[in-house]
Structure 1
Amino acid sequence: MSAGFVLVLFAILFAPPSPAAADTAPPVVVVAMSGVGWHDASAATPALSSLLRDGATANLVPRSVGATSCPIDGWLAISSGSRAAAPGECRPPQQPKGGTVPDWPAYQQAVRDQPYDAQLGRLGQTLRAASVSAAALGPGAAIALADPSGSLVGQYAGPADDPAQLAAALPPVLTDVELTVIDIGSAAGGLAALDDRLAAVLDAVRSSRPEAVVLVASIADGPPVVAGDQSPPGDEPREGTESTEGDRPPAGLQIAALLDPAAGGPRSLGSPSTRLTGLAQATDLAPTILQLLGLTPPVAMAGAPMEIGQQTPDPRAGLVDDAQHARAVTERVAGLYDTLVVLGLAVCGAGWLALRRGGSVPAPALLVVGALPAASFLANLLPWWRSGSPAWAYLGSVVAAAVAVTVLALNGPWRRSRWGPPTCLAVVTEVTLLVGVLGVDAVQYAAPMGISPLVGGRFYGFGNSAFALHATAALVIAAAAADRLARRGQRRRAAVVVAAVGAVAVVADGHPSFGADFGGPPALLPAFGVLAVLALGVRLTAARIALVIGISALAAVSLSVLDWLRPPPERSHLGRFVQTVLDGELGSVLARKVEQNFANLTGSTLTLLAIAGTLLLIAMVRPRLATVANAPMLRPLVVALGIAWAIGFAVNDSGVLVPAVGMMLGIPVILGLLAAQPARSTAASAAIV
């Protein structure tokens, strides 16, 4: 019986029971719109502003399949509990006909071609199975309450685009059903009109069902804003206003509010899916609705029920600032990576010429370039996005941080040691990353190489860029710590030091409460295993390589299964991957990762840096390693870095990003170590080796 089988069996036998549905629950009212951020809350929008005073509030990530989301995308996300998008142009939803959602087959076909395994109608199906009475007002609400066949679950009470009609239609509906979903349209028709519709809903709830819990959200970036377009919700766009992919709305964080009479306000709102106070996702809406009704959300839903937090005196200021930060950093991402690629290529070129001529690249230049990735995180400690010129403010912050790290590396008590300055650089990088995953959100939140809320790929732990830097920095630290012992002949102690640093690095990366990175341990464990074996001074054999791979696989599976044992809302990427395997969806996940990996490989400038760095290491660095005196761990370090980067490239969906970002730190470190002392003669090298 294999160890993996025992772990899975243990997980099945001791998995916690699913939470039971509550005996009673207050009625739930869901009010959704599109194109509204908290910056829109002002004296001119009293209903919207009242949410900040009376409820728990957060920014909502509306991210769908593409970079921006349309209203139908948001409604499909509620329907499925997963990311989903309508095909073609960005159009408003249409009124249901005969109890059926128009274009439902087209939505289903589009979702089948998308990579998120969304099942449209999952919310409606769950409501029907639990015999929940429901009503929809507005065409988008009908999408949310449709079952997998596109048939409406519950009653359709008509459109919701007129405040007077809403005020008349809502009271009898609210007193008759447990769940009411209302589509009040888009901000494209004017914020004042939208606020009037929201006010009509809130007034009707207060008068008819004051005990009801109200969930308000802007679920999409909204339709494209076209001059003169005043089409009411549910109408076809007038001629000349049709949307195309090119004129979709700009991405931005939207509003989310939960008005619970039992909790009051103002309070913060968050979600286990983001692990960030004040931030939730559109995919959290369906699980939240079900939990408010006293039902258990299906495990297949991607999000998690939102959670009300502590009282917040002035929530608007923080929410608007976070949204501004998210928008500003999105505009900086491409520029930062392109700059780092250019500088990385310059370092590779300079290194090639220097090694070919027997010289070296100046240490300050190497350290400044190597410090830039860490500096891109440290810059977030300054509010650069509030500047009138955020681009220049961010550039200045990054350069200042990089220079500060370089000055520290070159002037500490370690400055005369070969390993001193490069190790200082690695330690600063590692500490910066660990501080980010241990709870200082300011370091990673809306950082170009960290968490991008508008991209919505990951909201906690190590993303692929952070992992690449973490792996590189940790391996450098381990090699530096072991080198001194290895030079003294204390090989076993050197291997123990490598194993200890590796254990910390793997736990920091793979533990669900820290890095929560499924693709990290499979790359880190073999890299540190090989580094430890080489620190012992023994040869790598097939048996030793197989042992390292086996231990690595067992550890990665163990971390994932342990995370899967937790309740579904608390699982990280690791546990959700196990559930994906158990659901039989591994094939589609792997296909999506391979497709994205290939797209990045063929369409990213990072590929140029990865190729240049690889050629430099193979053609120029590798022959030079044997001639370096008194650095027994330098060659093992280069081998271990190559293993981590290669496996990281293979198992992570970002693919080439892992070796390229790793080289942004690793190449300057390696070139700095080579240049630290004069090389010994080839004859002396041969005599010792």
Structure 2
Amino acid sequence: MIGVPGLRWADLSPTGSPVLWRMAHEGSIASLSVRTVGAWTCPIDGWLTLSAGTRAAYPRIPCGQNPGDPVRRGDIFYAPMAANARQINLKSYFRAAAGSLGDAVHRAGAGIAAIGPGGALAAADSTGGLDAYAPAPETFHDWDRYRVTIVDLENVVRPYLGAGVSPHRPARVTVAQRAAAVRQADAEIGRVLAAVPPGGNVVVAGLSDESDAPHLRAVIARGPAFAPGHYLRSASTRRDGLTILPDLTATVLTAAGLSVPAQVVGDPWSHGGAYGEVSGAAEAMRGYDRAAQVVRGTVSGFFVAFVVCQLLVYALAAVGLRGSGGARRRRVLTFARTLALAGAAIPASTYLVNLVPWWKAPRPEPLLFAGVLAGAAALTAIALGGPWRREVMTPGTIVAGITALVAGVDLLRGSPLQMNSLMGYSPLVGGRYYGLGNIAFATFATGTLFFAAGIAHLLLRRDRRGWATVAVIALGAAADVLSGSPGLGAKFGGTVALVPGTAVTALIVAGKRVTPLRVLGFALLGVATIATICWLDYLRPVGQRTHLGRFAGQVMAGDALPVIARKLHAMLHTVGNIPLTLLTAGGVLFLFVVLLRTNGRGGGGPLTAAYERAPALRAGLTGTLVTSMSGFAIEDSGIAVPAIALTLAVPLAFAASARALADSPADSPGTGAGDKTDDAIQLL
């Protein structure tokens, strides 16, 4: 296993790295997400993660610090930092057992060797010991003696970090200097490949970042364990050509014919689809990294703009609701309604835009944002483009239905649209690589419940209350299956939260009373549902389990508390996210202070007028609030769940309210009742 910290696919070419390029022709390739504990991964963190098989780090030391050469005591070499690193990581959130790789080799009675200080840190067992060590490849000669040999080549990263240089302010390295460093590493790899006995498995991995600008890294594997001409794939990501750093530990052990310890969270690589020409595959992976970089650089600005626009729509709507002129007020409300529907269409549009390869453009950022806006405009045009635009709920039902459909179909296709999406997840963040992300869950659940309420509204108008209730339950159950299934959404907290939200929506549609005891009962049903899913996932073979099955195993082993504590800490930490907190507060205030308040004469608020025209709207909105608040308490993304849910729910509720007011006879031209209408809908 040859570790080249900092190596990217952008570094590789037939002339600049001929050895690696030839190796890619002969073996399998992928991109590697190297996210560990912090926002970027220092070389020492990458080596420790390889050692532990789960995310590990060595905090409070300079990023470029050399781990030091091992000290020989008798026949054993001891890595100087290994024992301390193990103690630190066993107390961390991830409970990373550094030394798991070396322990697995020694437990099988085999030997493990290392070349270079980083390699020694990765190869050391739980006592800090390894069987052989050499400072450089040219001084090591026993390539066929040890089952596993780990080589540290820091040619690429060393110019950036040096000895103790901060990743916040790495040394300035020119394009020519980086290319020269890559050529040096390529030549070193060539010498290693020439020394390795025929028939051995060789993996080259860029297992860390070189600065605080994280990237996806290059991985190339050659040997009997790997299929030539195929992308590497693992159960950790379920994506051809994308793997994670802990997979490296499982892969090294599996390729060496050794058992993978239970504490290793990564999965061994398998072969994915064939990639044909290396040049095309390499360009695809460069584009994948480019998309991740664009999303990383723009997502904060996008959310700030999204929050500001949502709050401005709320303000415009409040002004329109306070207006005293009938015709002028209707124009303001119509404009605000259109903007509200467009805002509600934004989440679906952020996924649909990934149907277009915007990252290939010379300037991808403008194309990305233009695509999102164009998609939202198209969805709004569909919602308001037919005779149904005069209906109270139908335009919102269309937006909600498309949102739920986009998320649902994306899940069935392996979630390609969520990856590198502004409201999805990123391989650089490494929180999720497949299934239903937290923000996507909020939009999917809200879209499903509002769409179910819209269908129920159509059935209730035909006096089909029973069928309306069945429709809500069926749509909610289908969404819950998509959300919780290990092969699709693999969503733990979302599956729990969606059950009571669906139940509350169905109860209101059925004309039944919603009580705290019933809500609690349905919440427990959600817990039972996900517990059953986790148990069934646990019963599958180890290599086929998702994080749901692994969590079930941790519960039975008594090791689940650190995971729960980490999730709880992450949830509480989200409250400090100012944009999301403002978005949540603005949505709640607008909903309860503007739309629901009654006046002193007993008149209903704007939303009450919509409820009178479409009683099912109350069901969809209430169910969404139950699900979003449950998600806030259960999901590690915390405040993001209600924040995003409200960006869809509140605009849809306002759009229905605005249409209901426009249809009010008291507000019709020529009645002279404009002031009376104002009195009837005084803001609460």
Structure-2-length-normalised TM-score: 0.87
Check if 1:535 corresponds to 2:535.
Answer: no
**What secondary structure sits across from 1:475 in the alignment?**
helix
Check if 1:310 corresponds to 2:273.
Answer: yes
**What is the match of residue 20 of structure 2?**
48
2:9 is aligned, of 26, 38, 61, to: 38
**What is the match of residue 21 of structure 1?**
none
Tell me if the contact between 1:350 and 1:361 (Cα under 8 Å) persists in the aligned partners.
no
Map 1:43-442; keep pairs closer than 5 Å.
43-88=15-60, 89-91=62-64, 92-98=66-72, 99-152=77-130, 154-156=131-133, 158-160=134-136, 166-167=137-138, 169-170=140-141, 173-188=142-157, 189=159, 190-205=181-196, 209-222=197-210, 248-261=211-224, 265-314=228-277, 315-357=281-323, 360=333, 362=335, 363-412=337-386, 414-439=388-413, 441-442=415-416
CA distance in structure 2 between the partners assigned to 1:638 and 1:466 by the alignment: 18
In the TM superposition, residue 271 of structure 1 has moved relative to its aligned partner by: 1.0
Map 1:658-673; keep pairs closer than 5 Å.
658-673=641-656
CA distance in structure 2 between the partners assigned to 1:549 and 1:262 by the alignment: 46
CA distance in structure 1 between the partners assigned to 2:198 and 2:608 by the alignment: 78
Q: Which AA in structure 1 matches 2:28? A: A
CA distance in structure 2 between the partners assigned to 1:588 and 1:680 by the alignment: 60
CA distance in structure 2 between the partners assigned to 1:354 and 1:524 by the alignment: 34
**What is the match of residue 245 of structure 1?**
none
**What is the match of residue 672 of structure 2?**
none
1:622 is aligned, of 590, 596, 605, to: 596
**What secondary structure sits across from 2:421 in the alignment?**
coil
**What secondary structure sits across from 1:136 in the alignment?**
strand
Map 1:478-557; keep pairs closer than 5 Å.
478-557=452-531
Tell me if the contact between 2:450 and 2:617 (Cα under 8 Å) persists in the aligned partners.
no
In the TM superposition, residue 146 of structure 1 has moved relative to its aligned partner by: 1.2
Tell me if the contact between 1:561 and 1:575 (Cα under 8 Å) persists in the aligned partners.
yes
Q: Deviations over 1:335-380 (max 9, x none)?
A: 2211111112222223333344585352221121111111111111
Q: Which AA in structure 2 matches 1:342? A: V
Are the structure 2 counterparts of residues 542 and 677 from structure 1 closer, same or farther at C-alpha, using a change threshold of 3 Å?
A: closer
Tell me if the contact between 2:49 and 2:246 (Cα under 8 Å) persists in the aligned partners.
yes
**What secondary structure sits across from 1:57 in the alignment?**
strand
Are the structure 2 counterparts of residues 559 and 414 from structure 1 closer, same or farther at C-alpha, using a change threshold of 3 Å?
A: farther
**What secondary structure sits across from 1:257 in the alignment?**
strand
Tell me if the contact between 1:351 and 1:361 (Cα under 8 Å) persists in the aligned partners.
no
Are the structure 2 counterparts of residues 67 and 667 from structure 1 closer, same or farther at C-alpha, using a change threshold of 3 Å?
A: same
In the TM superposition, residue 516 of structure 1 has moved relative to its aligned partner by: 0.6
Q: Which AA in structure 2 matches 1:667? A: V
CA distance in structure 2 between the partners assigned to 1:263 and 1:346 by the alignment: 55
Q: Which AA in structure 2 matches 1:192? A: R
Q: Deviations over 1:378-416 (max 9, x none)?
A: 111222222222221211111111111111111145333
Q: Deviations over 1:155-196 (max 9, x none)?
A: 22x112xxxxx35624xx122122111112240351121111
**What secondary structure sits across from 1:149 in the alignment?**
coil
Q: Deviations over 1:445-478 (max 9, x none)?
A: 2112112011111000111100000011000111
Q: Which AA in structure 2 matches 1:462? A: L
CA distance in structure 2 between the partners assigned to 1:613 and 1:65 by the alignment: 33
CA distance in structure 1 between the partners assigned to 2:251 and 2:656 by the alignment: 53
Q: Which AA in structure 1 matches 2:561? A: G
In the TM superposition, residue 281 of structure 1 has moved relative to its aligned partner by: 0.5
Q: Deviations over 1:561-620 (max 9, x none)?
A: 111211222222321221222232322222212221222102331101101111222222
In the TM superposition, residue 57 of structure 1 has moved relative to its aligned partner by: 0.2
Check if 1:646 corresponds to 2:629.
Answer: yes
Tell me if the contact between 2:414 and 2:435 (Cα under 8 Å) persists in the aligned partners.
no
CA distance in structure 2 between the partners assigned to 1:124 and 1:378 by the alignment: 45
Aligned length: 618
CA distance in structure 2 between the partners assigned to 1:53 and 1:442 by the alignment: 26
**What is the match of residue 233 of structure 1?**
none
Q: Which AA in structure 2 matches 1:417? A: E
CA distance in structure 2 between the partners assigned to 1:121 and 1:169 by the alignment: 22
**What secondary structure sits across from 1:302 in the alignment?**
coil
In the TM superposition, residue 546 of structure 1 has moved relative to its aligned partner by: 4.1
> Which 5+ residue runs of structure 1 have no aligned equivalent?
1-29, 161-165, 223-247
Q: Which AA in structure 2 matches 1:178? A: R
**What is the match of residue 22 of structure 1?**
none
Tell me if the contact between 2:450 and 2:621 (Cα under 8 Å) persists in the aligned partners.
no
Tell me if the contact between 2:415 and 2:436 (Cα under 8 Å) persists in the aligned partners.
no
CA distance in structure 2 between the partners assigned to 1:496 and 1:680 by the alignment: 34
Are the structure 2 counterparts of residues 51 and 680 from structure 1 closer, same or farther at C-alpha, using a change threshold of 3 Å?
A: farther
In the TM superposition, residue 132 of structure 1 has moved relative to its aligned partner by: 1.6
Tell me if the contact between 2:384 and 2:395 (Cα under 8 Å) persists in the aligned partners.
yes
Structure-1-length-normalised TM-score: 0.86
CA distance in structure 2 between the partners assigned to 1:312 and 1:287 by the alignment: 24
CA distance in structure 2 between the partners assigned to 1:490 and 1:441 by the alignment: 36
Tell me if the contact between 1:348 and 1:667 (Cα under 8 Å) persists in the aligned partners.
no
In the TM superposition, residue 151 of structure 1 has moved relative to its aligned partner by: 2.2
CA distance in structure 2 between the partners assigned to 1:361 and 1:515 by the alignment: 37
User: What do you get for the CA RMSD once the two structures are aligned?
Assistant: 2.1
**What is the match of residue 229 of structure 1?**
none
Are the structure 2 counterparts of residues 262 and 287 from structure 1 closer, same or farther at C-alpha, using a change threshold of 3 Å?
A: closer
CA distance in structure 2 between the partners assigned to 1:70 and 1:143 by the alignment: 14
**What secondary structure sits across from 1:283 in the alignment?**
helix
**What secondary structure sits across from 2:154 in the alignment?**
strand
**What is the match of residue 166 of structure 2?**
none
Q: Which AA in structure 2 matches 1:181? A: I
Tell me if the contact between 2:71 and 2:79 (Cα under 8 Å) persists in the aligned partners.
yes
Tell me if the contact between 1:52 and 1:316 (Cα under 8 Å) persists in the aligned partners.
no
Q: Deviations over 1:469-522 (max 9, x none)?
A: 001100011100111222333222211111000111101111111111001111
In the TM superposition, residue 680 of structure 1 has moved relative to its aligned partner by: 8.2
**What is the match of residue 633 of structure 1?**
616
CA distance in structure 2 between the partners assigned to 1:671 and 1:525 by the alignment: 25
CA distance in structure 2 between the partners assigned to 1:168 and 1:65 by the alignment: 34
Q: Which AA in structure 1 matches 2:307? A: V
**What secondary structure sits across from 1:443 in the alignment?**
coil
Q: Which AA in structure 2 matches 1:159? A: P
CA distance in structure 1 between the partners assigned to 2:127 and 2:305 by the alignment: 50
Tell me if the contact between 1:492 and 1:536 (Cα under 8 Å) persists in the aligned partners.
yes
CA distance in structure 1 between the partners assigned to 2:492 and 2:302 by the alignment: 26
**What secondary structure sits across from 1:318 in the alignment?**
helix
CA distance in structure 1 between the partners assigned to 2:511 and 2:53 by the alignment: 53
Q: Which AA in structure 2 matches 1:333? A: V
CA distance in structure 1 between the partners assigned to 2:273 and 2:609 by the alignment: 61
> Which 5+ residue runs of structure 2 have no aligned equivalent?
160-180, 598-604, 667-675
